[in-house]
Amino acid sequence: MNELDPVIHAQARLRIMSTLAALSDGSSMTFPRLQNLLDMTAGNLSTHLRKLEDAGYVSVRKSHNERTPVTDVTLSTVGRRAFEDYMTALRALLGEK
């Protein structure tokens, strides 16, 4: 149980998960806002989001606001649980409660 989830255990993906987990359940963040809060390039963010999406941790929804494409990213229930488990495992490794 102490093994760290490899999907989350990478700097960029941990930061993405931490950002989304800071929102309340079911809230979503647009791709540009996420990029801005993470200081990541669009390409880099997309790559890591795909990995998280493949694991079922985030859902990426594309829609249109009038003619502008909008991408909303939401942490899934599975993702929130995985993030909590990861943080618990990390704290356990450090001897924190």
Partner 1 sequence: MGDDRLDRDVMATDDAPMSAAQMLELSRAQQQRVADFFETPTLIIVATWGVAWFVGFLALWLGRPASVLPIPGDIAGTAFAVLMIVGVVTSVVVGSRTGAGVKGRERFEGAVYGISWGAACTAVPVLGGALQRAGMTTDVAALFYPAAYCIVIGTLYLVGAALWQDRSMIVVGAWILLVGVVAPYFGAPASYLVMSLAGGGAFLVYAALLLGARSRVKRSRVVRPS
Contact residues toward partner 1 (CB under 8 A) are 4, 9-12, 14-15, 17-19, 21-24, 26-30, 32-34, 36-39, 44, 47-48, 50-51, 72, 87, 90-91, 93-94, 96
- CB nearer partner 1, residue 11 or residue 67: 11
Quote the CA–CA distance of 6 and 40 in Å, as a whole number.
20
Find the helix packing angle between 42-54 and 31-38, rounded to 10°: 110
- CB nearer partner 1, residue 14 or residue 58: 14
Q: Is 47 left (phi over 0), alpha (psi -120 to 50) or beta?
A: alpha
Nearest distance from residue 89's CB to partner 1, in Å?
9
Nearest distance from residue 19's CB to partner 1, in Å?
5
Nearest distance from residue 76's CB to partner 1, in Å?
14
CB burial of residue 16 (10 Å; 0-12, 13-18, 19+): buried
